[in-house]
Structure 1
């Protein structure tokens, strides 16, 4: 029960404080610094996947048989590709500090922080599942269905969270009214494809 209380407090602290503290009691936020810190948090979570899938099994990789080594390095390559994909999606959608979601409203600012917390949790889950996948390869075992499903759900959940972040940053702003009609269509197509592709891992 203590863990449940701690988790509830962690994910609701910003909501409680933003409604409790009013006016001059609120400290103005440094959006650019906060943006950088959140980016570092995401990089740390992604780095955990690299550490969990490489450092723990590098001795095994040196002495493994050729057929197992191929499977081992295939898992590593796919995990690195997954990390690279998340890195590109996250950092390429970041707006300049002047257009950051935290400048839109207090509610959206709190929402973007909460989404980062859920993203960190989801990325950690991906790292843990990747380590279990590597472990299964090294032990000549099949990956259990629960871990496989959890990995897919975590990937899909991470993509949906980043789609929510994109809406927080750009929703109602892009496309602009002054944009050409073909540019608007391309943006709508891209957003729709991203949303649909996020559901595939589920």
Structure 2
């Protein structure tokens, strides 16, 4: 279900009201929200929607939650940094990774073999004998793989047809890559891995078919 985009005009009015209430001292969450609003006005709709949602979250956090009685709470005045800390906490809390399906595991393993990634088995807490050199080599190869993916995407975006029609397949693919790159660069990396794996599987199948055809010709 697609979430409704907050009204930019209403957000701007709420921020102006917040600034008037704050007086001369502007709280950090307000400054952050105003910066996000300025950036959202220059971004495309998909990116702007995410920024507007963050601004809306900042506005919701500006009012302190109903506090307990004075006997339980020695100070009823909330910290001015509380909304910002709460927003940062939500940003830094990474979601729990979902378990990979069998197909994802097979594609991931195939991708590691094709790209020459160093496969390091998961280490238990008791195993501490892995050398720093191996970890550095693994990180370096991971960086090389990521750089190779970004280079493929950059080349694909640069090699656009000169006079494409409205339904040109190449131009449609370029537009899709642009949208994915703007909305979720992490998903773009995974998408490129899928394409590489499928391409390698197709080439492997064609190689086996040619080899089988040569074998039949020799037997004749």
Shared fold per TM-score greater than 0.5: no
Larger relative contact order (CA 8 Å, sep ≥ 6): 1
**Higher helix proportion:** 1
How high is the TM-score relative to the length of structure 1? 0.30
* TM-score, normalised with respect to structure 2: 0.28
Structure with bigger gyration radius: 2
